[in-house]
Structure 1
Amino acid sequence: MLDTYKTFAADCFAGRTVLITGAASGMGLETARAFASKGAEVVMADRDETGLDRYGGELRESGAKVHTVAVDVSNPESIDAMFSYCDANLRHLDNLVTCAAIITAKRIFEQDWAHWQRVHGVNLLGTFFTVQGAAKRMVENSSGGNIVCVASDAGVHGGGGLIADTAYAASKAGTLSIVKSVARELAGRKVRINALNPGPTDSPMHSHIEQSLKDRIAGNLPMRRMGRPDDMAASILFLCSDAASFVYGAALDTDGGSMFR
C-alpha cells in the first residue's frame, strides 16, 4: 500500500466493518484498499460488477476480508438489497463511506429535466437513502458507528460547466446539508456523520477533463497539484478513526487549498 497510510496503525480497524459505495474505481476503490490494509472487513458496493470482481479478488488474494455486492444507488430496491446482504454477512455495520456519484459538466442551457433527475438520483437521493439505511442499523448497535459522505468543493463554490455543472454542484451542496441535518437528528445516538470535501482530484471520475486543463487546474492550486485518490482515502480513514471521535457534523476540506483561492 501507499505510504500515505503509514500514520495509521496496521490494525487500527481490526474487528471493524465498513461499507463503501462506488468502490469499483477511483476514490471508492482506494478507500477500500486503505481500510483493508488496516484490518477492516470491507464490503465493496458498486454497479460495476466487473470492477468489483477484479479488485475485490485482488484484495482477497492479499489476505483481506472483502465482500462485493452490486448496487445501483439510484434504485431504492437495490439499496435495500445491499443492506440485506450486509445484515446477512456482517456481525454489524461499523462504518459507511458514500463514494457513489456521477460528475457532469454541461452548460446551463444544455441541462434538461432528465439530466437533473439522473444526477440527483445518484448523488443526492442515493446518498440520503444509503445514509438512512446505515444509520438505522448503527443506532441499533450498542457501539454506534461512523458515516462519511463524499461531497465536493463544488458544493461550496459552485460548478460552472467546465469541470462540474450546476446539477452536480447542487447535488453536492445537498450532500453537505444531508450531513448537517442527519448530525442534528442523531445527536447523542453514538453515530458520527461527517463530510469530505475533495478538491480537483485526478481520478477516473475526472476522465472527461483534458490533460491540459488538469495541468492548468494544478498550477492554480496552492499545493500545485491535483489531489489523488489516496489523499482522499487517508482523510476518510481519519474521519472514521478514534482520532476523530470529537469531529461531528463537519466537512473536511481535502482540496489542496482550492477553497481559499
Structure 2
Amino acid sequence: MATKSIRSLSISSLEKYERLIDWFKTKNSKVMVALSGGVDSALLALVSRRALGKENILTVTANYKTLADEELQIAKKIAKEIDVDHLMIEYDELENPNFVRNDKMRCFHCRNELADNLLKVAKEKQIGLIVDGSHVDDLQDDRPGMIALRQKGITSPLIEIGLNKTEIRYLAKINNLSIYDKPSNSCLASRIPHGSEVTLIKLGRIENTEYITRKALNLRNIRVRDHGDLARIEVDKEYFAKFVNAEILQQLVISIKKYGFKYVTLDLEGYRSNKDDPPIDLILDTKVST
C-alpha cells in the first residue's frame, strides 16, 4: 500500500513539474529567483533555467545579517551547480527598528524589506518577474512574511502549481540537486522569543553554538533557542541518545557557556518546526517507479 501511495505521488509530482516548466514559459519575461540556500528556491532556479535559458534568469541572495553564513555559502554553491547568474545583495535588518523589536510581525517586516531590495534590483536589471520558494505546506502556518511578499508583487509558483515539500524534495532528488535532503532552516532571529530584542550579539552566539553542537554530536537538524542566560537545544527526538556521552556533553557545555550562556538545556519535547518538512527518510529510502 505504501509503495502504491509513493508511486501515485511520483506521477502527480512529475505532472506538476511539467506544469511548473510551462508556467515559466508562459510568462515571457526575465525572471529573478530569490535564492535562499534551501531546496525550494533551488528547484525554482533549476526549473526556470530549463524553461527560459540561463540568459533570462538571475538568482539573488540577500545577506541581511540574520542568516547563518553557512546558508549564504550554500546559496552560492547551488547557483554554480545549476549554472545560473547569482547576485549577493547586502543590507542590515538590525537597522530596522520594526524588525529589531521582535514582535509577532517580525517576519512581515523582514520580508517587506527583502521585497523592497529585490524590487530595486529588478528595476535596475529590467526584470519583470520575481519569484520565491513558498510552497503549499506554508499555507498551513501563520506566515506574515508571505503576506508582505504578496503585497509587493513577489510570486510563488510552487503554490500556484500546488507543490508540497515532499514533492519538492522528490523532484530535487531526481534532478540531482545536491541539497534535496537538506533540512529546512530559517533566519537566526527565529531562535529569539518574541518580545526580546534582536541583537548582533544574540545572533552571533546562536550561530556559533548551533555550529559547535552540530559538529560535536554529528547532527543535521538543530536549533539553539536564546532565552537570555539559558540556551535551549532542540533536536529530533531520535537523536536524544547522542546526548548521553558525559565527556562530549561536558566539553559542549563549556564551549556553549563561552558565548555568555549560564545554563544549557535539552528540550525534551524535541525539535518543533513549522510543519513544512516531511520525514527525509521518505525521500531517501524510497525507490520510485516513474
TM surpasses 0.5: no
Name which one, 1 or 2, has greater alpha-carbon Rg.
2
Normalising by structure 1, we get a TM-score of 0.39
Normalising by structure 2, we get a TM-score of 0.36
